[in-house]
């Protein structure tokens, strides 16, 4: 259990700089350690809940969170994650994980491209000024997409940040650093509702969850603190690498069982 804890510490240390929870890695790591899938997914969501809270507090202190957009999207991602977690026991997890892997690769491709304006030029947009940046977000388009992401993520046992951040950047035209920080809100609420949904339908190993969450909490605290000290282009490269690696990791682990 201690070895697993240090592995989670390392993962959250890196991913918290990107406002990501790391569920894409937690579930496969737990499965490789012989943890049953339902317990692994439940533990992953609990860890994401704790690390998301820490990231949110750190990013809020650094005034990087777009609270207006974040609060609008919370209801969408949280409700999707709750229903996804609730019905997770009856869904083929292999299909879900492969689907999510493909979506991560697609997200990495769009993030890696040279910066352009939002690929969406229609629909109602809200003008935002946050953290010294100005941008326009097609909120009525993003809300249903975030719900679907939350729904799939809740079933798989992750937060969905690997798709929500690219969505905010590619479609919402939100600056990358603000996207990372604002996503910490979605990580927190998506994981919380997904965990509650799973708790209703599955058993929870509280001792295991709490121990793992403590290691992840320390990693999240350190990583999110150093996020603002890393150049944005370096963060972009790290983020693309993490998306591709997470996609391949999840795909391979799914195929080999």
Q: What string of pLDDT tens digits covers the 257 residues of the chain?
A: 788 889 899 888 888 887 777 777 787 788 878 888 788 888 888 998 998 899 899 889 888 899 988 888 888 888 888 888 777 767 777 777 787 788 778 777 777 776 555 555 666 788 888 878 888 888 888 899 889 888 887 777 666 777 788 888 888 788 888 988 888 888 888 788 878 877 777 778 899 999 999 999 999 889 888 877 777 778 778 878 877 887 887 788 778 76
- Round to whole Å and give the CA distance between 28 and 37: 9
Task: Provide the strand spans (E) within 19-71.
Answer: none
Nearest to 228 by CA among 178, 186, 155, 192: 178
- Domains in the chain: boundaries: 2-256
pLDDT score recorded for residue 218: 93
pTM of the model as a whole: 0.76
pLDDT score recorded for residue 211: 93
Structure-token pair, residue 124: 């109602």
The answer to whether the CB of 136 falls within 8 A of the CB of 128 is yes
pLDDT score recorded for residue 9: 92
- Round to whole Å and give the CA distance between 58 and 229: 13
Burial class (CB in 10 A: 0-12, 13-18, 19+), 78: buried
- Round to whole Å and give the CA distance between 10 and 17: 12
- Round to whole Å and give the CA distance between 183 and 161: 6
pLDDT score recorded for residue 210: 93
């Amino acid at each position: 259990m201690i070895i697993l804890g240090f592995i989670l510490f390392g993962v959250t240390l890196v991913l918290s700089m990107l406002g990501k929870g790391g569920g894409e890695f937690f579930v496969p790591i737990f499965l490789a350690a012989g943890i049953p899938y339902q317990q692994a997914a439940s533990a992953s969501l609990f860890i994401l809940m704790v690390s998301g809270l820490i990231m949110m507090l750190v990013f809020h202190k650094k005034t990087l969170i777009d609270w207006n957009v974040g609060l609008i999207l919370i209801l969408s991602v949280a409700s999707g994650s709750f229903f996804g977690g609730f019905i997770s026991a009856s869904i083929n997890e292999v299909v879900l994980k492969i689907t999510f892997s493909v979506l991560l690769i697609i997200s990495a491709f769009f993030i890696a491209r040279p910066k352009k304006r939002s690929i969406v030029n229609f629909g109602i947009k809200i003008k935002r000024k946050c953290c010294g940046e100005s941008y326009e977000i097609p909120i009525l388009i993003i809300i249903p997409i975030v719900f679907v992401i939350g729904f799939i993520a809740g079933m798989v046992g992750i937060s969905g940040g690997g798709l929500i951040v690219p969505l905010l950047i590619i479609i919402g035209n939100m600056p990358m650093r603000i996207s990372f920080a604002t996503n910490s809100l979605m990580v927190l609420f998506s994981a919380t509702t997904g965990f509650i949904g799973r708790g209703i339908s599955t058993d929870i190993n509280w001792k295991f969850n709490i121990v793992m969450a403590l290691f992840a909490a320390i990693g999240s605290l350190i990583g999110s603190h150093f996020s603002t000290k890393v150049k944005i282009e370096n963060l972009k490269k790290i983020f693309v690498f993490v998306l591709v690696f997470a996609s391949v990791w999840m795909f391979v682990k799914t195929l080999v069982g």
